[in-house]
Structure 1
Amino acid sequence: MAADPAAAILRLLDIMARLRAPDGCPWDREQDFSTIAPYTVEEAYEVADAIAKGPDFSILQDELGDLLFQVVYHAQMAREAGRFDFAEVAGSISNKMIRRHPHVFGEAEMRSAEAQTAAWEVQKAAERQARAETGTLAGIPPGLPALTRALKLTRRAARVGFDWPDAAAVLDKLEEEAGELRAELPAADKARQADEVGDLLFVLANLARKLDLDPEACLAAANAKFERRFGAVERLLAAEGKAPQDAGLDGMEAAWVAAKRAERGG
């Protein structure tokens, strides 16, 4: 571990400035906020993936470094534009954390986790108001993954009472939306079908919220399960000297059932 975190940060800031210098890296010099933003999102996902796969902390350390570099990159570009620098970024988040934790850094009473969550949301609402972001749904970034944004939108709406009473009611709505999609199938109108599929996904995000689940995590787990089982299907077919396309749907379905049975241990 580095003996001096401040020195390590200063070294990284110097490296970033050097990369963006007139005689630095041509690629780094050409970038701007919009071109770097996708890499920032990608690095955040890679951190999450390293945590999910765990417990290899060397990989997590490396991915966190990549994510930190993204923050430093944006801060350097802002510094060049005369807007802010890394110190101001660090100072801003430090001030925000102190402001949002008066029970730790102030004289407010220690709260339960539930009470603290409520107080946190009140503070965030005040901050949005100070930024002239009005409305219940203000401040939810449009660049979030769609399922995550659906979760946040409906969670925010639920705070003012716009919500289904329970998960069973959401399931009823899901069946209603499925019926509406089914009615659109014969017409083959892609725009209307897309609208109905969107409604289905939105209701599913609500269902996850009512069950206190993260829809992105649920879908990620389903993706991983499909990937794992389809890989098993390919291996089972390969043992028979077949490729998936040669086995046909019936052959693949039989291998899928076998893969599921093997995975469940029976």
Structure 2
Amino acid sequence: MAEPLAAVADWPVPHAAAAVVGRSGVIATVGDVDRPFWLASVTKPLAALAVLVAVEEEAVALTDAADEELLPGATLRHLLAHASGVAPEQRMRSSAPAQRRVYSNVGIELAAGLVERATDIPFPTYLDEAVVRPLRLEHTSLEGSPARDGRSTVADISRVAAELLSSTGLLSDPMREELSTVQYPGLRGVLPGFGAQDPNDWGLGFEIRGEKSPHWTGANNSPRTFGHFGLSGTMTWIDPDASLALVALTDRVFDDWAREVWPALSDAVLDAYA
């Protein structure tokens, strides 16, 4: 067990595993990195990567209409950036596009649906072909909604993080830059679990830290840090300025315990390895 990950063993959770990742791969681990965990919303970045592969394959385009009847004027880009105006959990319009950052499971499901219809391939199968197999993810699957029903391991998510730090070619360099760039800057919104944020920065399927406070990453993470956390007690961030990523998966629902230990671990990892 390597410091600073030793602290993970003291987290108040039934099971936990974590890894620190650098540009050359995994630097340190703790726990069973091959144990599958429900990802909850950490599913969203995996789904977004599959959608962006579909964009680069020209099956869909970021300018494609999201759903003209439901969300007039909104595009696939809006959906991935939680800026389409669709409600969080219902297929209903809550605002015009690019007016507020409305974090929406439905939006990610709509984005996956566009790929599914364009390719005539069920989205879980497309995710497997576009992301799981190319990155050699051994225990990753989608068993329902592309917004929250993924299962994976620390070992697999570490491979995803390594790909985003130092690409092997899953996405082009311009697309990798785009996914971690703020889309529709200046939008206000609520970051689940952390309250109103102004602005509430988001890329394409990935949350961007910016100057948010409070936040689930460390005080010393750079504003360019991007990633996601999930209600099942899961999180991963990639900090391009530090050339580091952190993956931590648990099986305890996100609550005050995570608000306390995640930022502390993040800062300890940055102090030790950046």
TM-score by length of 2: 0.27
- Structure ranking higher in strand proportion: 2
